[in-house]
């Protein structure tokens, strides 16, 4: 943040009381990313107008948010009790400063906060600024900063072990909770941008799961594109995790977002070791390129019709670019895995009403095995709770900006609910023995 702003009686608090000058209290000051926190500002003037700003930097992404508050008669602002009257969110919400984060003025709006290193926290800087300052003016040198603070939010609990996996052809990272186990096991996959994302697997391990972040293309020595995916790679991953000595015997779960959700369906379709499948915003049919077995096409893919892409100022909307029929649906019901299907109504990449069609395609006697949740005003990228909405971002494989969709407040509510449902679902359907603390 700019160092030229006026720092009036600046004081940074780690939770202590500050009777004579304004200070910020954060509790807890160190927390997991899915944990609600309390932020209070004390020793203000009665009814003083202030702006509370949050700021976070992750690689090249710089995000900020703010709320406008009026102190109570005791000169205190408790963000969990007082309504924000303006800024990036309005109303009473203790986590409003987090889910309403957006790129700072002048930065690209088509970006996403992704934790690139789960062994370090996201550090959110807090500032209390005199008067109600519009978001676009927060960095002006005339703003008067009354107090500062910070909160460190982690995806990985300090007790979780991170183990790089290079077993045969498998590539990824295994996260194990504290203790000797065994723990319920989960494979975690992401989408068609490739690489290896670890943040959700780290958070799942922090909740007591042995979680395997599985890379499948565009990482290490794996295939460079989606054209060369082999079914056996994914079934090998299931076998490896299900037989791991730290994993509770009796079957595992698979969680996947977008393309990873399709693959989660495939793994549940082919392996009876998969007992629970969570598809987050993934198509019910395989897409982009055929899935192969021994180099030959095994599952035919829907291909994108580029002539039906809708080009807008915000980016490309792909909702009409795939043509579905029920014959293309992935029959995940074949091995009787339980299925949780989480979708956003305003997903810009596919028509999520297809999820209800997918449920209807289940054999009648197996429809109780699937739960479909379609969240209103919610987009494609349903993340762990309290992270900001990414409405659009650059897709490096397709070399275009995609509109993922969603509205910030509704999307935030969906993320909080989806995470609770996901954890409950996995606990319900996976073998149980050992769970660890989920607080830092």
> Of the listed 13, 281, 347, 429, which one is catalytic?
347
Does the annotation count 287 as an active-site position? no
Q: How far is CA 293 from CA 94, 172, 181, 222, 233, in A?
A: 50, 21, 34, 16, 9
Residue 380 known to be catalytic: yes
Which of 68, 157, 244, 380 is catalytic? The answer is 380
Helix (H, G, I), strand (E, B) or coil at 350: coil
Alpha carbon separation from 4 to 123, 138, 143, 401 (Å, rounded): 21, 12, 9, 35
Question: Which runs of consecutive H residues, i.e. helices, occur in 209-353?
Answer: 231-242, 259-270
Q: What is the largest CA-CA distance in the chain?
A: 74
**271-308 b/e (C-beta count within 10 Å ≥ 16 → b):** bebbbbbbbbbbbbbbbbbbbbeeeeebbebbebeeee
CA 74 to chain centre: 38
Active-site pick, 65, 211, 258, 392: 258
CA distances from residue 90 to 65, 68, 131, 280, 410 in whole angstroms, order as listed: 12, 8, 16, 28, 13
108 belongs to the catalytic site: no
Helix (H) or strand (E) run with residue 411 in it? helix 408-429
Phi-psi label, residue 315: left if phi above 0, alpha if psi -120 to 50, beta otherwise = left
- Residue 28's φ and ψ, nearest 5 degrees, are -80, 150
C-alpha count within 13 angstroms, C-beta hemisphere, residue 414: 27
- Kindly state the tokens that stand for 281: 């915003």
Q: How many Cα atoms within 13 Å fall on the side-chain side of residue 379? A: 21
Q: What is the spatial distance between Cα 248 and Cα 154, in angstroms, rounded to a whole number? A: 26
- Compute the distance between CA of residue 440 and CA of residue 431 in angstroms, rounded to an integer: 25
Distances (CA, A) of 226 to 67, 191, 399: 43, 10, 14
**406 Ramachandran zone, left/alpha/beta (phi>0; psi -120 to 50):** left
What's the first-to-final CA gap in the chain, in angstroms? Answer: 28
Cα(365)–Cα(34) distance, integer angstroms: 36
Q: How far, in Å, are 82, 127, 299, 350 from residue 25 at the CA level?
A: 15, 11, 55, 43
Alpha-carbon span 160 to 66, nearest angstrom: 33
Q: Known catalytic residues? A: 258, 347, 380
């Amino acid at each position: 943040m700019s160092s030229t702003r006026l720092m009036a009686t600046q004081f940074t608090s780690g939770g202590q009381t500050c009777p004579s000058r304004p200070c910020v209290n954060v509790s807890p000051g160190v927390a997991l990313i899915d944990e609600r926190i309390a932020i209070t500002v004390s020793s203000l003037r009665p009814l003083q107008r202030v702006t509370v700003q949050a700021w976070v930097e992750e690689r090249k992404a710089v995000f900020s948010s703010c709320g406008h508050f009026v102190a109570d008669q005791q000169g205190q602002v408790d963000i969990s009790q007082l309504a924000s009257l303006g800024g990036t969110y309005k109303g009473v919400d203790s986590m409003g400063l987090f889910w309403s984060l957006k790129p700072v003025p002048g930065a690209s709006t088509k970006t996403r906060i992704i934790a690139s290193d789960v062994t370090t926290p996201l550090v959110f800087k807090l500032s209390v600024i005199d008067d109600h300052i519009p978001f676009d003016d927060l960095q002006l040198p005339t703003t008067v900063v009354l107090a500062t603070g910070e909160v460190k939010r982690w995806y990985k609990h300090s007790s979780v072990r991170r183990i790089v996996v290079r077993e045969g052809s498998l590539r990824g990272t295994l996260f194990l909770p504290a203790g000797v186990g065994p723990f319920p096991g989960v494979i975690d996959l992401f989408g068609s941008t490739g690489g290896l994302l670890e943040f959700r697997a780290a958070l799942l391990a922090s909740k007591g799961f042995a979680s395997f972040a599985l890379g499948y293309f565009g990482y290490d020595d794996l295939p460079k594109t989606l054209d060369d995916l082999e079914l056996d790679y994914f079934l090998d991953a299931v076998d490896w995790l299900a037989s791991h000595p730290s994993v509770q015997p009796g079957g595992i779960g698979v969680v996947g977002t977008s393309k990873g959700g399709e693959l989660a369906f495939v793994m549940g379709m082919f392996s009876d070791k998969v007992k629970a499948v969570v598809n987050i915003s993934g198509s019910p049919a395989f897409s982009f390129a055929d899935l192969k077995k021994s180099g030959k096409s095994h599952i035919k893919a829907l291909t994108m019709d580029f002539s039906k892409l809708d080009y807008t100022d915000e980016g490309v909307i792909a909702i009409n670019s795939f043509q579905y029929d029920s014959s293309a649906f992935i029959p995940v019901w074949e091995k009787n895995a339980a299925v949780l299907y989480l979708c956003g109504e305003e997903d810009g990449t596919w028509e999520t009403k297809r999820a209800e069609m997918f449920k209807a395609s289940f054999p009648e006697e197996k429809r109780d095995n699937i739960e479909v949740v379609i969240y209103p005003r919610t987009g494609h990228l349903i993340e762990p709770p309290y992270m900001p909405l990414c409405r659009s971002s650059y897709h490096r494989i397709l070399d275009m900006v995609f509109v993922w969709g969603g509205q910030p407040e509704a999307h935030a509510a969906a993320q909080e609910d989806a995470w609770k449902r996901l954890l409950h679902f996995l606990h319900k359907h996976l073998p149980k023995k050992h769970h660890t603390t989920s607080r830092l």
